[in-house]
Amino acid sequence: MIYKNFPMVSRVIFGRGSFNQIEEILSPKRLSTKAPFIYFVDDVFKGNAWLTSRIPLSYDDKVIYVSTAKEPETSQIDQLVEQIILDYKELPSGIIGIGGGSVLDIAKAVSIMLTNPGESKNYQGWDLVKNPAIYHVGIPTISGTGAEVSRTTILTGPERKLGINSDFTPFDQVILDPELTKDVPKDQWFFTGMDCFVHCVESLNGTYLNSFSQTYGEKAFSLCKEIFLEDTLSEEDSQDKLMMASWHGGMSIAYSQVGVAHALSYGLGYLLGVKHGIGNCIVFDHLEEYYPDGVAMFKEMKAKHNIKLPQGICKNLSDKEFNIMIDVALSLEPLWENAIGKQWKKVITRDKLRTLYQKM
């Protein structure tokens, strides 16, 4: 295969208040009264009637609140799947994720694992999923990761932090309602928003770039510039545009790849539990050598929004710990190949990565 033939989200609705249409979207998809809709909802919304009172529950439908204190783990997915299988006689009609990248990824992974045997860690990688997933719906409540549009669900497993990348991973339906992002705390808005910015920089400066990726990446990049550097947007416009930037950024990497920041950030995430958005920021701050213009702009955005990043997080690590992070980072070969080119192994040495990690 020379050119990838990949699926996209088959249906999407966009607009402030579009979340109100959830019932009309889901009801035709109900398979039977015994086949419930299961909603995974970020527990930040527990007790938030503004959002939860609009979740339409009938028959055996259920809301499961999930904590985002840690990023999704394979063992957590396996437990959730087992619980659903024990609790119901029939497979669900649909799995709905309402939250940030973590909850969207949980919804994707659970919908896949309900129809594929064994443990989720066995599906971390590329194209290992054999059976179509349960109908699944993504409703982002914070913008930036592109998880709403991507072909992956990123999980931390016993051996690695790696996505389940498959044709069955993308959502069947996405509801983009920017109003749902109105209460995101400022720092988190920045960190997750910067995930999108970094996706664009890594895609646009990668060797895998083609016009498909470039057109989406350039649009997302210019939206990020408008949102994070210029003072021209109303709060509502800014929410609307960041939601679309996230979408376009995700589309851009669909046909290319991420790069140096993501590879190193996965190492921090795996060893230290540093979360994706802030981890990318911590790493990206030190990547002038690879992305000079992008890093300069990032520093401008950081200063404008008065964001303070943690410093010295690798200060007290042992050789063994550095090596664990370096192993995780180096294992992400497509990311390095995209960032540096086919000869990447000549320049990306263990010493080089250690020097970078030591700065963080």
Binding site for ligand NAD (CB under 6 A): 42, 44, 68, 71-72, 99-103, 105, 141-142, 145-147, 150, 152-154, 180-181, 183-184, 188, 192, 195, 276-277
Tell me which residues in 181-210 interact with Zn ion (CB under 5 A): 195
Q: Are 197 and 241 in contact (CB under 8 A)?
A: no
**Per-residue DSSP letters for 104-157?**
HHHHHHHHHHTSS-S-GGGG-EES---SPPPPEEEEESS-SS-TTT-S--EEE-
CB of 112 to ligand NAD, least distance (A): 12
Choosing among Zn ion, ligand NAD, none, which partner's interface includes residue 36 (Cβ < 5 to 8 Å by kind)? none
CB of 127 to ligand NAD, least distance (A): 16
- Closer to ligand NAD at the Cβ: 199 or 286? 199
- Closer to Zn ion at the Cβ: 72 or 92? 72
3-state DSSP percent of the chain in helix, strand and coil, to 5: 50, 10, 40
CB of 323 to ligand NAD, least distance (A): 22
Choosing among Zn ion, ligand NAD, none, which partner's interface includes residue 202 (Cβ < 5 to 8 Å by kind)? none
Q: Are 93 and 28 in contact (CB under 8 A)?
A: no
Choosing among ligand NAD, Zn ion, none, which partner's interface includes residue 180 (Cβ < 5 to 8 Å by kind)? ligand NAD
CB of 136 to ligand NAD, least distance (A): 13
CB of 38 to ligand NAD, least distance (A): 18
- Closer to ligand NAD at the Cβ: 36 or 277? 277
CB-side exposure of 332: number of CA atoms within 13 Å? 25
Choosing among Zn ion, ligand NAD, none, which partner's interface includes residue 239 (Cβ < 5 to 8 Å by kind)? none
Choosing among Zn ion, ligand NAD, none, which partner's interface includes residue 203 (Cβ < 5 to 8 Å by kind)? none
- Closer to Zn ion at the Cβ: 39 or 336? 336
Instruction: Tell me the two tokens of residue 76.
Output: 């957590």
Element (H, E) at 347: helix 344-347
Q: Are 286 and 272 in contact (CB under 8 A)?
A: no
- Among 189, 223, 220, which Cα is nearest to 305's? 189
- Closer to ligand NAD at the Cβ: 94 or 146? 146
- Identify the DSSP state of 181: G
Three-state DSSP class for 94? strand
Three-state DSSP class for 171? coil
CB of 268 to ligand NAD, least distance (A): 12
- Closer to ligand NAD at the Cβ: 144 or 294? 144
Choosing among Zn ion, ligand NAD, none, which partner's interface includes residue 330 (Cβ < 5 to 8 Å by kind)? none
CB of 138 to ligand NAD, least distance (A): 10
- The alpha carbon dihedral of 222, 223, 227, 231 has a sign of positive
Radius of gyration for the alpha carbons in the chain, expressed in angstroms and rounded: 20
CB of 25 to ligand NAD, least distance (A): 20
- Residue 105 engages Zn ion in binding (rule: CB under 5 A): no
Instruction: Tell me the two tokens of residue 317.
Output: 């690590």
Distances (CA, A) of 331 to 253, 291, 360: 19, 21, 20
Chain residue whose CB lies nearest ligand NAD: 101
Choosing among Zn ion, ligand NAD, none, which partner's interface includes residue 143 (Cβ < 5 to 8 Å by kind)? none
Choosing among Zn ion, ligand NAD, none, which partner's interface includes residue 240 (Cβ < 5 to 8 Å by kind)? none
Chain residues in the site for Zn ion (CB under 5 A): 195
